[in-house]
Amino acid sequence: MTEPTTRPATPDAGGEREVLGRGIRLRSLFSLAFGTIIGVGWITVMGAWLSGAGAIGAIIAFVLGGLGILAIGLCYSEMAAAYPVTGGEVAYVFEAWGARWSFAAAWFLAFSYIFTTSFEAISVEWVVSALVPGFGGPVIYTLLGQEVRLWSLALGLAVMAAITLINYRGGKTAAWFQDLMTAGLIILTLIFVIAGIVGGSVANLEPMFSGTTPGAALIGVGIVLGTAAFWFAGFDTIPQAMEEVEEGAKLRLLPRVMGASILFALVFYCLVILATAMSMPRAELLASELPAAAAIEAALGSPFLGRIVLFAGLCGLITTWNAIFFASTRIVFAMARAHMIPHRLAKVHDRYGSPSAAVIFVAVMGSVGALFGRNAILVIVGGAAISAMIVFLVVVLGVLRLRKTRPDHPRPYTVPGGRGFLVLSAVVALGLLGASIWEPFHGAGGRIPAEWIVLVVWAALGLVFYRAAAPLRREVSERQLRWLILSDEDPK
C-alpha cells in the first residue's frame, strides 16, 4: 500500500488519526460476509441441531433466525452507509449512545469475533481427523474433560499463523483470498446438496421435530434458535471493512450486498440440513461423529463424496476464519484508535496499510482460546451468540435514536418501513437476545452456565484495558474523539 497510515487532524481536532489502506471491492464485501456466516458449523454441530430440534424443527429455527437477522442487517446497512469507517459498531454506538456504551458494545463484539477464530482452530482438526484417521497424535493434556492432542493443536495453531500472515499483509490480500475460498465453498456444497437430496429419502426426515408433544417441539426449535445469532453473525464483518472499500464504490448498493449475504446463508443452511437429514435414518445419523459427511457417504455408498463434504467444510472453515480474523483486527484497531484500549494496538504497518499490532493481538488471544479443545466449542458458540445479540440490539436502537438526534446526517440508504420497521427490528433483536441467554441456562440444568461466567471474565478484562487507556483518553477532547472515531471535522 502506498497510502499514508496517518492523516493530520484539523486544527480544531488536534493529533493524528491512523487510517488503513484501501482496495476492497463491494464483491469482496459479499465474500467476507457470506464466508463468515457459512463456516464449518453445519458439519461439526449438525448433530446438535438435529437432536435438539429435529430436521424440520431445525429448518424452522434457521428460517426464523435468518429473517430476524435480515431485519437487523438492514439497520446495519443504514449505519454502515452513513458512517463508512473502520470498526463500524464503535462509530454507530458512539454517535447514538456515547463513548462508554461504544466501548462496551465493541468489547463484547470483540469477544464474539476473536473466540470464533478459536472455534475455527479447534474445528479444523476435527475435520482433518475425519479425512486422515488417527491424525490427532499423542495426548499432551486434558482440559474441560477433553483430551488435547499434539498434532491437532499444532494444526490449529499453524493455520492460525497462516491466517495471521495473510491479514498482516493488508485488507486487499485478505479479501482476494476470501473471494477464492468462498467460490470453492459454494461449488463443493452444491455437489453435497444435490447428492444428498437425490440419493436420500423423505422418510428419513422422521421425526421431524424433537419430542412427542407440541411443547417439546417448541422447546427444540427454541434451543436451535437460541444460537441463531452465532450462525448468522458475519454480515456485520462488512462494517469493519468500510474504511478500506475502494474509492468510488456505490454505497447505495450496500444493503443489497448485506441482505444477499444473509439470504444466501439462510438458503444454504436449510438445504444442508435437508440434504443431511434425508440421507440417513436419524438414529444412525446421530451416532456419527460428523453427520453431514457420514450421511452422504452412506446414502450414495461413496467415500469420495463424503470427502467432498469434508473439503467443503474446510473451505467454509477457512472463509469464516479469515473473515472473522479480519473483522476482529478492525474492531480492536478502532477501539485503540479511539483510546478505549491502549493506543499501541492502533499501529498501522507502513508498507501494507494493515493494523499490524491488532493482528498480532487477535492471533495471540485466538490461539489461547484454541488451547481449550473441543469441549470449549459450545461455550464459545453460546457466549458469542449472547455477545453478538447485545451489540445487534444496541445498534438497532441506535438507528431509532439517530433518526431523532441526527436527522440531517447524510444517509445514502434508509431502512424502509419507517419507525414501525425499526421498532419491530428492535423487538426481534430483543427476542433473539433473550433466546441466546436462555439456551445455555436451559442446557446447564439450573446451574450458572459456563457461557455467562466466561462473559463476566471477559468484561472484567475489558475494564482492565479501559482503565489502562484512561490517562491518554483524558487528554482527548470531545471534538478530537469524534475525529478519531467518525473522521468528523465539524461536530455540531
Which tens digits make up the pLDDT trace of 461-491? 999 999 999 998 888 888 888 888 887 654 4
* Higher pLDDT, residue 273 or 87: 273
Cell of 272: 444442508
* Higher pLDDT, residue 188 or 454: 454
Cell of 245: 472499500
Calpha distance 347→364 (Å, rounded): 16
Q: What is the mean pLDDT of residues 363-391?
A: 90
Q: One-letter amino acid identity for 80?
A: A
Cell of 169: 499483509
pLDDT, position 6? 45
Q: What is the mean pLDDT of residues 363-384?
A: 89
pLDDT, position 297? 74
Instruction: Answer whether 243's CB lies under 8 Å from 40's CB.
Output: no
Cell of 452: 455467562
- Axis crossing angle, helix 418-443 with helix 450-468, rounded to the nearest 10: 120
Instruction: Answer whether 57's CB lies under 8 Å from 226's CB.
Output: no
Residue 248's pLDDT band, with cuts at 50, 70 and 90, is: low
Instruction: Answer whether 426's CB lies under 8 Å from 389's CB.
Output: no
Model confidence at 51: pLDDT above 50: yes
pLDDT in tens, 79-117: 988 888 888 899 999 999 999 999 999 999 999 999 989
Q: What is the mean pLDDT of residues 298-312?
A: 72
Calpha distance 365→255 (Å, rounded): 32
Q: Work out the number of other CB atoms within 10 angstroms of the CB of residue 357.
A: 20
Instruction: Answer whether 391's CB lies under 8 Å from 139's CB.
Output: no
Model confidence at 13: pLDDT above 50: no
DSSP codes of every residue in 333-384:
HHHHHTTSS-GGGG---TTT-S-HHHHHHHHHHHHHHHTT-GGGHHHHHHHH
State pTM to two decimals: 0.78
Cross-strand bridge partners of residue 149: 139
Give percent of the chain above pLDDT 90. Answer: 34
Lowest mean pLDDT among 18-27, 189-198, 311-320, 379-388: 18-27
Calpha distance 158→469 (Å, rounded): 32
**Mean pLDDT, all residues of the chain:** 84
Calpha distance 206→228 (Å, rounded): 23
pLDDT in tens, 278-304: 888 888 888 887 787 777 676 667 677
Domain range 6-486, its CATH number among 3.40.190.10, 1.20.1740.10, 3.90.1070.10, 3.90.110.10: 1.20.1740.10
Calpha distance 85→349 (Å, rounded): 18
pLDDT, position 26? 76
Calpha distance 57→406 (Å, rounded): 42
Backbone dihedral angles phi then psi of residue 289, each to the nearest 5 degrees: -70, -40
pLDDT, position 352? 81
